[in-house]
Amino acid sequence: MSTVLIAEDDKQIREALDRILRFEGYTTVPVNDGAAALEAFVEHRPDAAIVDVNMPFVDGVTLTRKLRDRGDRTPILILTARRATADRVEGLDAGADDYLPKPFEVEELLARIRALLRRTDSGAGAPVLVLGDLTLDTAKRMVTRGGRTVDLTKTEFDILEYLVRNAEIVLSRSTIYEEIWGYDFEASSKSLDVHIGYLRRKLEDDGAGRLVHTVRGVGYVARVPDPE
């Protein structure tokens, strides 16, 4: 069974999460601050992590950013008592894969963890997808565009793979949420928009044309840009 790291400084919440996840069959690694979490990532190499935003020594957002900067792509679910959109966007900006505001329902937490763990590597026999000058190797989880390597987070890669597999097909926001996260977010969620924004920034870093297009009022579509 998968190993889940729990980084939460509130003892009651940490112990409750530990009991719930162990009851569900997961191996758990509970720690009470961000510095201990950084060490635990190296020692235990968890399959996923639940990370609180407000922790001593290293906060959850900084922890996530440090992990991404050193190339760690472990799926991260951020817990936060902050409900403002800007606060949630900050966590996604740092490289988190998902967020869950406190207080939360246990079933929703478990559903989100299952969704993160489902998005695993595709295996050695996975195909290489091509769209224009974009090449996406689903086995190695590598993306290149025009010969340039594009470094993506796990969620960014998963979104891009889904869009490219369905190139020229307009995918609704709810369809993408269901496929990538395993459930639909509330209508006001900006999670997908944030990830799409960073995807575009990375894919278009050298002035290349747009591959991921917005269809207003519907969702997104991947297609080769029209020649100028």
* Domain ranges, residue 192: 128-222
Tell me if residue 129 falls in helix, strand or coil.
strand
Q: 109 forms bridges with which residues in the sheet?
A: none
92 and 150 assigned to the same domain: no
Q: Mean per-residue pLDDT for 197-201?
A: 92
Q: What is the CATH number of the domain that holds 95?
A: 3.40.50.2300
Final residue in a domain of this structure, among 71, 87, 118: 118
166 and 111 assigned to the same domain: no
94 and 192 assigned to the same domain: no
Q: Note the pLDDT tens digit of each residue in 16-68.
A: 999 999 999 999 999 999 899 999 998 898 999 999 988 889 888 899 988 88
Q: Mean per-residue pLDDT for 100-119?
A: 83
* Alpha carbons 133 and 225: distance in angstroms, whole number: 10
φ, ψ for residue 161 (rounded to 5)? Answer: -60, -45
What's the predicted TM-score (pTM) here? 0.60
156 and 110 assigned to the same domain: no
Instruction: Provide the pLDDT confidence category of residue 184 given band limits of 50, 70 and 90.
Output: low
155 and 67 assigned to the same domain: no
Say if 227 falls within a structural domain.
no
Q: Of 96-100, 116-120, 193-197, give the lowest mean pLDDT range.
A: 116-120
The identity of residue 193, as a single letter, is D
Number of domains in the chain: 2
Residue 116: name the closest of 48, 175, 173, 20 by CA: 48
> Cα–Cα–Cα angle for 183, 184, 189, nearest 5°?
130
